[in-house]
Amino acid sequence: MALDPIRILVTGAAGQVGGELLQCLAPLGDILAPSRAELDLANPVAIETYLRETEPHWIVNPAAYTAVDKAESEPELAHAINALAPAVIGREAKTLGAKVIHFSTDYVFTGQGTIPWVESDATGPLGVYGATKLAGEQALLATGAEAVILRTSWVYGATGKNFLRTILNLAKAKEELRIVGDQHGAPTWSRDLARLSAHILRSGTFTPGIYHAAGSGETTWAGFADEAVRLTQLRLPEAKLARITPIPSSEYPTPAARPGNSRLNCTKLKETYHYTMLDWHDSLAQVLAELA
């Protein structure tokens, strides 16, 4: 008697990571990719109803309230999606016997210092977004569900709204771009996160816990922009592209404070799941090739 195929729920399928997950996870089972209307993560009852009706074996949850500045004026909505939803997902997953892969962020930390954060470091979010994501981590773990939490940083890709695509568009229209140069971290390709998720599903062993999963190496936002423009200029030698001028964060005030140190140490991920995230230079070159 043939076994039913594995059912894999992917939240936020229209988002950057969600879209890549659909492609990477498709060979591994039947994909459930509900729209926001079908699965409203701000509505706990809707989450319960959907999970009880579909009974997924895996729940992969990249969906989040990610408008960092807007979260300062919409804390209730950010809390509902980033904190309450993971709690409901975890509770239902435990009942179903489903495994969870949940995405989180470097914003759970204070952003101070220069040493890459490890999973056991003390947390200390700077704003509503980070606080709600941290609450979501804690709530999910408290349910006792089998869950892997992947903290990442500076996510970008060839699709969706992200820093890289914004910079490339602006670079074609302006002579100079003044970009923050004192915030340090690593750009992370959305497809690399999706491939990691598929790797975890295929691994045959599931070790719950918190893991850091960000691009290898480090740079600044100005450094990222400069390299993106440099590589684009090589491909389009006749184009007139903006020069990148690094500026301090103090010259670019935002409603929510940004971490100065977004570096994440990914050694635990490598040692446990034998997966090494791509160096940000390599992933950038691949994404730019797709955008060409």
Query: Of how many residues is the chain composed?
Result: 292
Contact 34, 14 (CB under 8 A): no
The pLDDT mean for the chain works out to: 96
Contact 273, 203 (CB under 8 A): yes
Q: How far apart are CA 15 and CA 21, in angstroms?
A: 10
pLDDT score of 2 more than 90: no
Question: Tell me: the pLDDT tens digits for 30-73?
Answer: 999 999 999 999 999 999 999 999 999 999 999 999 999 999 99
pTM exceeds cut of 0.85:
yes
- Listed residue (179, 169, 156) closest to 241, CA to CA: 169
pLDDT score of 185 more than 50: yes
Question: Tell me: the pLDDT tens digits for 98-143?
Answer: 999 999 999 999 999 999 999 999 999 999 999 999 999 999 999 9
The catalytically annotated residue of 50, 107, 129, 273 is 129
pLDDT score of 277 more than 90: yes
Instruction: Return the pLDDT at 292.
Output: 79
DSSP 212: E
Q: Which two tokens stand for residue 49?
A: 């109803």
Residue 1: pLDDT band (50, 70, 90) is very low
Task: Give the burial class of 5: count Cβ atoms within 10 A of its Cβ; 0-12 exposed, 13-18 middle, 19 or more buried.
Answer: exposed
Instruction: Return the pLDDT at 62.
Output: 97
211 as an active site residue: the answer is no
Task: Give me the residue spans of the domains in the chain.
Answer: 7-161+188-216+263-278
Q: How far apart are CA 155 and CA 186, in angstroms?
A: 9
- Listed residue (92, 96, 122) closest to 109, CA to CA: 122
Please provide the CATH number assigned to the domain covering 7-161+188-216+263-278.
3.40.50.720
Q: What average pLDDT does the segment 240-266 reach?
A: 96
Beta pairing, strands 243-247 & 176-180: parallel
Q: How far apart are CA 35 and CA 22, in angstroms?
A: 13
Instruction: Return the pLDDT at 161.
Output: 87
What lies within 8 Å, CB to CB, of 162 at 6+ separation is 16, 155, 156
Contact 281, 186 (CB under 8 A): no
pLDDT score of 4 more than 90: no
